[in-house]
Chain A
Amino acid sequence: MADLNVKLWRGDENGGELVDYNIEAQDGEVVLDVVHRIQATQAPDLAVRWNCKAGKCGSCSAEINGKPSLMCMTRTSVFEPGETITITPMKTFPIIRDLVTDVSFNFKMLKRVPALKPKPREADGTYRMYQEDIERGQEFRKCIECFLCQNVCHVIRDHEENKTNYAGPRLFIRYADLEMHPLDTNDRLSLLQDKMGLGMCNITKCCTEVCPEHIHITDNAIIPLKERVVGDRYDPLVWLGKKIFRKSKAKTTVTE
Chain B
Amino acid sequence: MTTTNTNSDNNSITAVEIGKPRGGPKVRTLRKDKWWIQPLLTTIGLSLFVLYGIWAALRNGDYFAGLLSGTSARNYLSPFYSPCVTHGCQYTTVPIIGTWYNISPAIVILIFPMGFRMSCYYYRKAYYRSFWFSPPACAVTEPHKKYSGERKFPLIINNIHRYFWYAAVVFAAILTIDAVNAFRFPNGQIGMGLGTLVFIINAVLIWLYTLSCHSCRHLTGGRVNLFSKAPIRLWFWKKVSVINPHHQLYAWLSLIWIAFTDFYVYMVSSGMIHDPRFF
Contact = CB atoms under 8 A, between A and B. Distances in A.
Q: Is the interface of A mostly helix, strand, loop or mixed?
A: mixed
B139 A159 contact: no
Nearest to A136: B227
A206 B125 CA distance: 10
A129 to B, nearest CB: 8
With most chain B CB atoms within 10 A of its CB, the pick from A15, A93, A219 is: A219
B271 to A, nearest CB: 45
Interface string B126-153: 0011000011001101101011111100
Contact of B223 (A68, A94, A209, A231): A231
A117 B227 contact: no
Contacts of A77: none
Contact of B1 (A92, A118, A152, A234): A118
Interface stretch (B20-28, B74-82, B187-195): B20-28
A202 interface: yes
A95 B72 CA distance: 72
A117 B23 CA distance: 39
A116 interface: yes
Given A9-B25, A93-B22, A182-B225, A117 B1 contact: yes
A101 B23 contact: yes
B10 interface: yes
Contacts, number: 200
Given A67-B31, A181-B225, A200 B16 contact: no
Contacts of B69: none
A116 B149 CA distance: 28
Contact of A159 (B147, B160, B161, B214): B147
Given A112-B14, A200-B147, A219-B214, A228 B223 contact: yes
A90 B139 CA distance: 10
Interface in A83-137: 86, 88-95, 98-99, 101-102, 105, 108-109, 111-120, 130, 132-133, 135
A252 to B, nearest CB: 8
Contacts of B33: 65, 67
A16 interface: yes
Given A114-B6, A201-B149, A256-B7, A154 B16 contact: no
Contacts of B5: 114-117, 186, 254
Nearest to B152: A199
A209 B147 contact: no
A173 interface: no
Contacts of A229: 159
B30 interface: yes
A29 interface: no
B22 A223 contact: no
A91 B226 CA distance: 40
A119 to B, nearest CB: 8
18 contacts: A16-B23, A65-B30, A66-B29, A67-B31, A88-B25, A98-B23, A108-B13, A108-B14, A130-B227, A132-B234, A154-B134, A155-B147, A159-B146, A200-B151, A209-B138, A223-B121, A223-B214, A227-B223
* Chain A to chain B: the 3 pairs with minimum beta-carbon distance, closest first: A66-B30, A95-B23, A200-B149
